[in-house]
Structure 1
């Protein structure tokens, strides 16, 4: 049987067909297709504060989305920080339990930041204030494209090989990775990948591999979940 891979989701207002501005649970279909093409069976996980769902999951994708609440890492919100507290409360419980029970995890963008915060790390709330540029989120709905460097011998280096190009869309980033190991950085030094070698599979990437259905990363998650 294909391993069951949970994907965290958004809850927001949406419009489709005859319905207008309806509270909706959803996630970009790229995540579903990326998991499916990698050999997994995707299951969408709404943001409920109930971690028992992990009992039926073989792996977990922490999807992208809004900024994390700075309260999770002991900071005050800055003017450009936009959060979804209900999702934060649910997902921090989910990721902590997943780490405790060694469920294979892949964190994407916000998902990587969630892994970092769960591991005791902190975030920069607005990267242009820190880096002096907006190349990680150049415009609305426009991905920033740049090269990353990876630590030789790391999981992400083995998966990416000589392909160093990444596509990202975020205005927050990792300041301190906590207990996680930074294994990839952008050209400006910002962490782009984190890992926890003490777990079966814990990988966070700041870019969006689901957009290109990257079977290297999703395939590695599915392979770990199948063991």
Structure 2
């Protein structure tokens, strides 16, 4: 298995965590080759592609909005990753989006993003004190197949998918303990819930027709960021088999 990480190596003064390198380190034990590149031609050489997390935020201009909550924007990186995703879609290559990469692939397919989550105290990046929260995995979707009905994941984001396009389906959500989780889960089952709110954030999605999945959390993180419940190897194994 040859895995392309469609990212660049972030200087520590911009982001203290190098999500691209973390993806390479995490996947090396399971793959024949893992490398980072922003060259579209490399998509053809890979069996599958990862869109990593980290900064910057995706430019709101992609969904016709002004910047009201983004901390940093890099138009060149957005375009390069969008072009690589376009090639992966054309070739029907499996893609896993992580955090920023998850948001970018959602925007590529027509999603809008919430630029700054109101309840960010449950989700935001804290390098010295990682956040974890419980999530619900949606019945008959890939997250439930991997982890069962509920799983605790790490959390390091201030944005989220807002409006979901028709081609993407929900596989995992975080729900605030103060609201009726059963009612929201029923709305998701009925396909009537298509938008993150302050009290319910979409944490994982999958494409209806393509081998593309995304998670808002960080399976590649190590050390104090690891959730004992969310075994990353299980997610990687599922991802690897999307092209079979």
Tell me the TM-score normalized by structure 1.
0.83
Question: What runs of 5+ residues in structure 1 fail to find an aligned partner?
Answer: 16-20
Greater relative contact order: 1 or 2 (C-alpha under 8 angstroms, separation 6 or more)? 1
SS at match of 1:34: helix
The match for 2:77 among 77, 82, 87 is 87
The match for 1:160 among 130, 147, 150 is 147
Offset at residue 174 of structure 1 (A): 0.6
Offset at residue 14 of structure 1 (A): 5.6
Q: Does 1:182 align with 2:170?
A: yes
The match for 2:64 among 70, 74, 77 is 74
The match for 2:23 among 31, 52, 57 is 31
The match for 2:213 among 203, 206, 216 is 203
Q: Which residue of 1 aligns with 2:178?
A: none
Offset at residue 100 of structure 1 (A): 2.4
User: Structure 1: which 4+ aligned runs deviate by more than 6 Å?
Assistant: none
Mapped partners of 2:127, 2:31: distance in 1: 32
Q: Which residue of 1 aligns with 2:52?
A: 63
CA 1:57/1:96 → structure 2, altered by over 3 Å: closer, same or farther? same
Offset at residue 27 of structure 1 (A): 4.5
Question: What runs of 5+ residues in structure 2 fail to find an aligned partner?
Answer: 176-198
Q: Which residue of 2 aligns with 1:18?
A: none
Q: Which residue of 2 aligns with 1:169?
A: 156
CA contact (8 A) 2:137 2:149 kept: no
| Structure with greater strand percent | 1
Mapped partners of 2:121, 2:70: distance in 1: 14
RMSD of aligned alpha carbons: 2.3
CA 1:127/1:160 → structure 2, altered by over 3 Å: closer, same or farther? same
